[in-house]
Amino acid sequence: MASLRLTAACPDRVGLIAAVTRFIAEHGGWITEAAQHSDPTSGWFFMRYELRADSLPWDAQGLRAAFAPLAREYAMEWRVSDAGVPRRVVLMASREPHCLADLLYRWRSGELPFDLPCVIANHPDLAEYAAAYGVPFHHVPVGRSEIARREAFARVRELIDRAEADTVVLARYMQILPPALCEHYAGRIINIHHSFLPSFAGARPYHQAAERGVKLIGATCHYVTADLDAGPIIEQDVVRVQHDDSVDDLVRLGRDVEKSVLARGLRYHLEDRVLIHGNKTVVFS
C-alpha cells in the first residue's frame, strides 16, 4: 500500500502530538504507523508517522506545502517522503568484498529497495562483483599525496553528483573522506566500522581488540562526519570471542556482524527511521 512518511523533531511542549494528529485527521489522513520519543535531557521531541497515501488529498509535495505552517509554528526540523520512491544509493568499497557483496545481494533480491546507479572503489579488485549484478563500476585510485587525494575525491564527488545519489554507503571503503565531502553530504553518508565504537576507533581495530583481550567484538554503523569514526551512531551489534581466538578468527567472526549491522542501519535510513540530533540519533526501529 502506498504511503507517505512524516518525520519531525522540535522543542517539546504540551499539545504537540495533538496538533500534528489533528492536522492529519482533519484532512482524512490514516496513520498506519506512529512512533514518538520525548528526550527529557535535551527537551526535544521526536516523531515519525507513516500515512496511507490514498487517504490524503495530496501527494508528498502537497503534504509538504500544507504542513509547513504548522512546522513553522512549532520550530520543527521535519521531512516528508514518499515511501514508493526508492532512494538512489551509491556504494563505495576498497578490497574487502563481504559488505559490498551482501548489499548487492539484498538489493538484487529486493530485500533492500533502493536504486543503485553505481559502485565506486579505490581499488579494481571488486569490479567483478559489480559486473555480476550489472552495476556500473568506477575505479578511482586515491594517491598518497595531497594533490592526488584532492583530485581523487573531486572525481568521487563528480560521480556521486552525476548519479543523483540520495545516500552514499561506505561498505568497507578504507579511506578517510575529506571534511568538505563530509559536510556537503552531511547526514547522507553511512559507514560501517569494524569495532564497537567508541572502542578501537581508527585502523586495525581487530588487532587492537586482540591485544586488549576483549571478550566481545562488534561493528558500528554510523553517519560520517569530519571527525574520524565519531559520527552519529545508527546501529551496533556484538559477538562473543574467546581467549584462544586469533586475530584471523576475530576478523572472520566480525565480518558477519559488519554485514548485518550495515544492512540494518541502511534499512533504518531508507525507511526514514533515523532522526539525527547533534551527535546522537533517535532510531524508530
> What DSSP state is assigned to residue 176?
P
Rounded to 5 degrees, φ, ψ at 112 are: -115, 105
Strands 167-170, 189-193: pairing is: parallel
Q: How far is CA 202 from CA 40, 107, 120, 158, 285, in A?
A: 33, 29, 22, 27, 28
CB-based contact 140:152 (threshold 8 Å): yes
* Grid cell locating 31: 496513520
Residues serving a catalytic function are 229
Rounded distance between C-alpha atoms, residue 186 and residue 188, angstroms: 5
Q: Give every strand in the sheet of 119-121, ordered side by side.
A: 137-139, 119-121, 89-93, 167-170, 189-193, 216-223, 233-240
Q: What is the largest CA-CA distance in the chain?
A: 63
Rounded distance between C-alpha atoms, residue 230 and residue 201, angstroms: 8
Give 183-189's long-range contacts (Cβ < 8 A, gap of 24+): 183/226, 184/157, 185/160, 185/224, 186/223, 186/225, 187/223, 187/276, 189/223, 189/224
